[in-house]
Amino acid sequence: MQISAVEVAKLLEAEKARPPKSGKTSLKFKEITPDALPEHEVVEPDASEVARVVQMVKETPDVREDIVMQLKERIEKGEYEISSEEIAEMMARRMKADRIR
């Protein structure tokens, strides 16, 4: 499975939105934007944060059955619409992600 930066960002956003499991505290992520840093400064990722993200990715199933079922229902009802522009954008994003690897 290939994971792009966009997919990791989506995973982090989904993790922030998910209610915490009982007995566990929710994760807090510090957002770093390129324009917030001086050009010469390099930010090294925090090892514990990287380990958490790696663990979240490992725990995420290859197929999200809940999402598949939602999409299947919308397709069957004729409610699922996606534009050709959206498809082209996703294809371009995937190509960029593959080049990064």
* pLDDT attached to residue 88: 92
Length of the chain: 101
Greater model confidence, 88 or 42: 88
Cβ neighbour number for residue 97 with a 10 Å cutoff: 15
* Full-model pTM: 0.34
Q: Where are the domains of the chain?
A: 1-60, 63-101
How much is the pLDDT for 13? 75
Summarised one tens digit per residue, pLDDT across range 53-76 is 889 888 888 888 989 999 999 999
pLDDT at 96 over 80: yes
Q: How far apart are CA 73 and CA 60, in angstroms?
A: 22
- Three-state SS string across 61-96, please? CCCCHHHHHHHHHHHHHCCCCCCHHHHHHHHHHHHH
98 vs 36: which has the higher pLDDT: 98
Q: Are 6 and 93 in contact (CB under 8 A)?
A: yes
What local confidence, expressed as pLDDT, does residue 9 receive? 74
**pLDDT digits over 3-47, tens only?**
667 777 777 777 777 766 655 555 565 666 666 655 655 667 788
